[in-house]
Amino acid sequence: MIVLPTVHADAIRRHGEADHPHECCGLLLGQFAGSADGGAPVKTVVETYAISNAREETAKRNRFLITPQELMRGEKHARSRKLDVIGFYHSHPDCPAVPSKFDLDHAWPTYSYVIVSVMAARAAELLSWELEDDRSRFRPETIA
């Protein structure tokens, strides 16, 4: 489960709308906490961290790319705020908020992957996904 306060969900939607028809992307910063029933940790988003998109025009439209340098900058910022990188967000311009094969191939376990569908420059569905332990597929994650 991921706790995503409305203010941060809205920030992701606005970023997706601003970058349409390109994909936007960014980091989800916050905390991991043990769940009450001892199950999977609950993630709480405290801050979103916008990252510029890939430089290549061809890549902009259909995949999100975060360079190691950008990720390192984001992690440094997170540490300065005593937060962890708990996931990633990106937009799907004019496509459903469902992970692509590219997303699956570039995902890591434990993190949350929030995807916002942006249809004709207006944010639509926003969903969160987690990688299955065997990395074969994503499973939907409850957003609270």
CA angle (26 as vertex; 20, 30 as ends), nearest 5? 140
One of 100, 104, 106, 119 touching Zn ion (CB under 5 A)? 100
Running DSSP on this structure, what letter comes out for residue 20?
Answer: T
User: How big is the site for Zn ion, counted in residues (CB under 5 A)?
Assistant: 2
- The piece of 11-19, 25-33, 98-106, 129-137 that touches Zn ion (CB under 5 A) is 98-106
Nearer Cβ to Zn ion (8/63): 63
Q: Is 19 in the site for Zn ion (CB under 5 A)?
A: no
For every residue of 51-108, DSSP letters joined together read E---S-HHHHTT-----HHHHHHHHHHHHHTT-EEEEEEEEEETS-SS--HHHHHT--
Q: Of the two residues 83 and 127, which places its CB atom closer to Zn ion in the complex?
A: 127
Q: Is the dihedral of CA 53, 55, 56, 57 positive or negative?
A: positive
Whose Cβ is closer to Zn ion: residue 49's or residue 88's?
88
CB burial class (10 A; 0-12, 13-18, 19+) of residue 61? middle
- Report the nearest approach of Zn ion to the CB of residue 64 (Å): 6
Stretch of residues binding Zn ion (CB under 5 A), selected from 54-62, 71-79, 101-109, 116-124: 101-109
Closest CA to 44 of 107, 131, 128: 128
Per-residue DSSP letter, 143: B
Which of 19, 70, 103, 130 touches Zn ion (CB under 5 A)? 103
Residue numbers at the binding site for Zn ion (CB under 5 A): 100, 103
